[in-house]
Amino acid sequence: MWAPDGDNLIVEADNLDFIKTLPDESFRMIYIDPPFNTGRTQRLQSLKTRRSATGSRVGFKGQTYETVKGTLHSYDDAFTDYWAFLEPRLLEAWRLLTPDGALYLHLDYREVHYAKVVLDALFGRESFLNEIIWAYDYGARSKTKWPTKHDNILVYVKDPANYVWNGQDVDREPYMAPGLVTPEKAALGKLPTDVWWHTIVPPASKERTGYATQKPVGIIRRMVQASTNEGDWVLDFFGGSGTTGAAARDLGRRWVLVDSNPEAIAVMERRLADGALDSRVTVLHTSQGE
């Protein structure tokens, strides 16, 4: 059983079953990035090249290379009743937040309008803090509509009169028109608004884990900076590639990550537990919790 004085934790389990065992009001911040209900399987397969005398690709100075496929990471992103799945998990999130805590729910245009109605009912409309638009410029280009190049992140606080807010501590971003501000302001950068221009994790980035829906540390880092203090607990029960844990670790926060996908657990374990500078990381597999 996890306790607030325990280790950082990676848990392989059905997230609803596990989070029901956690004590009330334990987490200053909860970030969740559930499947988007796109109706299709999400896949990502890494491709690497290596020098080979029989390779079909020709590179520098006539060297030949072959392409090697890495591990295929995928999950089924389709539910017959999406909100019957998600709503009880959001109710548990409300229970688990500290009285001054915040929930960040990361969705896309297909479900976000339903989510706001549900969260208004669970938290109260007055507890709605922001809808963050994460905008990026990568992926397919539609020829029949405006290409969709953003995700939506709903932010709700448990108590609108008392919540942690460290907005001045958030990493700054460049001015879009630096010539319109003083050189000092341009060098400092500006605080983000509710529209975040931030690239996805590039395919060749050292940050890339190979997990299909990995989110960049940069956007999760902003949330953790703004809504927690050093030493606070952060929960992500759709842990995926472990980005929430990576951001929390780097900022001196503590964390619990849950996922039912063994591939996700393996990615998180490599990223956060193997050779970790912080030795207080426990990995709990389903069989250990039964």
pLDDT in tens, 166-199: 999 999 999 999 999 999 999 999 999 999 999 8
In the numeric block, the tokens 């905008």 are attached to 135
Please, what is the average pLDDT of the chain?
84
Per-residue model confidence (pLDDT) at position 62: 55
Per-residue model confidence (pLDDT) at position 8: 95
At 74 the three-state DSSP class reads strand
Per-residue model confidence (pLDDT) at position 98: 98
Query: What percent of the chain shows pLDDT beyond 70?
Result: 81
Length of the chain: 290
pLDDT at 52 over 60: no
Per-residue model confidence (pLDDT) at position 35: 80
Say which residue, 137 or 130, is predicted with more confidence: 130
Residue 161 CA: distances (Å) to CA of 105, 134, 196: 20, 26, 25
Give CA angle at 150 (149, 156), nearest 5°. Answer: 175
pLDDT in tens, 227-281: 999 999 999 999 999 999 999 999 999 999 999 999 999 999 999 987 655 558 9
Of 215, 218, 216, 258, which is closest to residue 234 (Cα–Cα)?
A: 258
Per-residue model confidence (pLDDT) at position 64: 53
Per-residue model confidence (pLDDT) at position 23: 96
Amino acid at 32: I
Residue 257, CB-side half-sphere exposure with 13 Å CA sphere: 30
Per-residue model confidence (pLDDT) at position 129: 98
Q: What is the pTM of this model?
A: 0.82
Domains belonging to the chain, first-starting first, are 8-39+78-289 (3.40.50.150), 41-77 (no CATH)
Return the beta strands (E) in 126-280 as ranges: 128-135, 150-157, 195-197, 233-236, 254-259
Per-residue model confidence (pLDDT) at position 210: 73
CB atoms < 10 A from the CB of 175, how many? 15
Amino acid at 159: D
Please give the DSSP secondary-structure letter assigned to residue 126. G
Of 255, 240, 248, 232, which is closest to residue 9 (Cα–Cα)?
A: 255
Per-residue model confidence (pLDDT) at position 271: 92
pLDDT at 80 over 70: no
Full strand arrangement of the beta sheet holding 97-107 = 195-197, 128-135, 150-157, 97-107, 27-32, 233-236, 254-259, 8-12, 281-284
